[in-house]
Structure 1
């Protein structure tokens, strides 16, 4: 099944380079001589051209920043984990020494909601992005048409590898670890966002639209889902579990596990619980304001639209208290993430609550 099938194709990137016009043999020979001389003086012209292209492409691309808030709720242990990497390359110099020539910047944000313990969520938070960086496709210059498919495959392989690595470690323990975790990971490649998720944590995008009435227009927001929940009550998930020999009772796998896809949960893998993520992509625009990544603790007491409107309310209200080293805008996003997590607890959520608020600036 094509996981990209239900989404519109992205528009052609402004960075796309048109194919070179056909040249005569004499012109080609002359250009070859010039390139050879340039290479002797300054290094390969192709490398310089790619670097110049990146500099041009970087202008006008979104800048993503992350703000996180976590609350333990009424649980004895905080089993959530998270990762914030606004600039993925600066954090992963050993795994991702250089971006492909077609890519100017990459960001990574992730929320992991553990169950049965915190070991699986912590393992995924520590290792998944390293595996992603090692597997990230290296594509020859000029070959951009397969980039989406290769990134999709990279994400699928990364989740599979992370699950296998954790299960191997878990089974070697005495007694064996039985932890599991959901995962909602956002990978931004230039202006394209890829969200890979397992389980019931979610990602939603706030997009501002203009509603025209006469000569004047009013700005309003729309909430776009960037993830798909996986639980045993969904027909396709339940059928897969039953075909594998498992059962669903009271909306849970074997009457125990609330999610139908996860990293870890080795004892349920033979019952149809898988680690294959749902992958969705979205091209960011100048109308996009922020993305919320959060575990189900938030969405037990907030609808996606309510969460977006709550954040907008904080961003648009009177100036918030500024912290040293933060701009006013950063202080607003910081306050919005903290207040949203606290409000979830105030509304009666007894679960762990972790919220990542990703601001989008152009």
Structure 2
């Protein structure tokens, strides 16, 4: 059995390599050349050792070149609305390049990106804690160096990171007087080169817009779910809660909590509420336009398909007001993100609304 719930297999595509990547590769090649030349002035044994080292490093450089080709350019946009709530309890993180947070990358990985949305309940402390700490814990646990079976290691890394983040928050919450009772959903997207890994708890969601050819030759948008909702009305979730001694009333744990998995919620952990995320994996292709990560405030008034179509309609609108720091395409995506969140409030969502829109461009 595979480690992840996979989405449809994509076709392989290739794309240009950026000037920065080319400069880095040329610098690496020059360094290896100098290393070889320096060794030639030493003994035959030393030359032999250096040549072996250089050959190994050249192989790694070539692997890096191969995996850099065709990587999508990811750009994140965010919109947050308080709605009718007294407090904004959502939190979010956008790290299009989190390589600087990592001690080392696996040998065949060029880039790691991270985007996350957290929907707090009972207060904003759990969501803020997760936004501040989860990606740092992830960075510490992320595999590095020459490793095999990166998929398996990333799965373990994500599971360990969610468990650790939950434990760390609960420890802090229980030390307060009175103890904090906050909890939070979490939908985190990790993009390793062109592979997307989504780990989620609760009812915040991630959806991908992929353009596919229709029978008439035109392209149509297909919405792919990248996450799985966790609420107590789902059979497997309800059974786990009941086996732990909890009850489900009015679609809520003990008649109170709307989600069956979360970070925090210490008082419900004994009732079967867990912090183990669902994991999904999907390879990005040139046919992919964008990914939406959003809390349930959006999806209370939008279906996933409606949200995707709304974004596409804004992207296809006429002229946009120019701002010197953004390209026309960036302005369109930013407008689509802002308008989607505002429309959710206009449609009557009283909850906090946070939307992250990630464009994918090959």
Q: Is the structural similarity TM-score above 0.5?
A: yes
| Corresponding residue SS for 1:84 | strand
Cα distance between partner residues in 1 of 2:319 and 2:44: 58
Instruction: Pick closer, same or farther for the CA change 1:35–1:63 going to 2, 3 Å.
Output: farther
- 1:72 equivalent in structure 2: 82
Q: In structure 2, what is the equivalent of residue 132 of structure 1?
A: 138
Shift of 1:71: 0.1
Identify the residue that residue 308 of structure 2 maps to in structure 1.
Answer: 308
Structure 1 residues 3-82: aligned runs within 5 Å: 4=4, 7=7, 37=47, 40=50, 44-82=54-92
The separation in 1 between residues aligned to 2:94 and 2:244, in whole angstroms, is 36
Distance in 2 (CA, whole Å) between partners of 1:306 and 1:57 is 35
Tell me if structure 1 keeps the 8 A contact 2:10–2:285.
no
- Render the CA deviation track for 1:213-252: whole Å, top value 9, x for unaligned: 3xxx111100000000000000000000000000000000
For structure 2, the 5+ residue unaligned runs are 15-42
Report the Cα distance in structure 2 between the residues aligned to 1:50 and 1:356, rounded to whole angstroms: 35
Q: 1:313-334, CA deviations, whole angstroms, 9 ceiling, x for partnerless residues? A: 0001102223331111111100
2:90 corresponds to 1:105: no
Could you tell me how far apart the structure 1 residues matched to 2:188 and 2:194 are? 16
2:133 counterpart SS class: helix
Alpha-carbon distance between aligned partners in 1 of 2:59 and 2:225, rounded to the nearest angstrom: 38
Residue number in structure 2 paired with 1:83: 93
Asked whether 1:114 is paired with 2:120, we answer yes
Deviation at 1:4, TM superposition (A): 1.9
Residue 140 of structure 1: how far off its partner (Å): 2.1
**Hey, what's the Cα distance between the residues in 2 that align with 1:272 and 1:288?**
37
Deviations 1:27-81 (A, max 9, x none): xxxxxx9996376489644234313421332121111110000000000000000
Across the aligned residues of Structure 1 and Structure 2, the Cα RMSD in angstroms comes to 2.2
The whole-number CA distance in structure 2 between the counterparts of 1:198 and 1:282 is: 18
CA distance change for structure 1 residues 258 and 134 in 2, over 3 Å: closer, same or farther?
Answer: same
In structure 2, distance between residues paired with 1:137 and 1:330: 33
Deviation at 1:310? 0.2
Tell me the distance in 2 between the aligned counterparts of 1:51 and 1:131. Answer: 28
Structure 1 partner of 2:323: 323
**SS state at 2:237 partner:** helix
Equivalent position of 2:354 in the other structure: 354
Q: What does 1:1-362 align with in structure 2 at a 5 Å threshold?
A: 4=4, 7=7, 37=47, 40=50, 44-90=54-100, 92=101, 96-140=102-146, 143=148, 146-213=149-216, 217-362=217-362
How many aligned residue pairs are there? Answer: 334
SS state at 2:215 partner: strand
What is the distance in 2 between the residues matched to 1:34 and 1:282?
49
Match of 1:102, SS? coil
Counterpart-to-counterpart distance in 2, 1:247 and 1:153? 30
Distance in 1 (CA, whole Å) between partners of 2:298 and 2:252 is 20
CA–CA distance in 1 between the matches of 2:97 and 2:221?
Answer: 27
The TM-score, its normalising length taken from structure 1, stands at 0.87
**Aligned-partner Cα distance in 1 for 2:264–2:59:** 45
Contact 1:315 1:336 (C-alpha < 8 Å) held by counterparts: yes
The verdict on how the C-alpha distance between 1:9 and 1:287 changes in structure 2, with shifts beyond 3 A counting, is closer
SS at match of 2:258: coil
Q: Is the 8 A contact 2:185 2:200 kept in 1?
A: yes
Question: Is the contact made by 1:184 and 1:202 (CA closer than 8 Å) also made in structure 2?
Answer: yes
Q: Which 4+ stretches in 1 moved above 3 angstroms?
A: 5-14, 33-36, 38-45
Distance 1:11 1:188, change over 3 A: same
Tell me, in whole angstroms, the C-alpha distance in 2 between the residues paired with 1:82 and 1:181.
Answer: 12
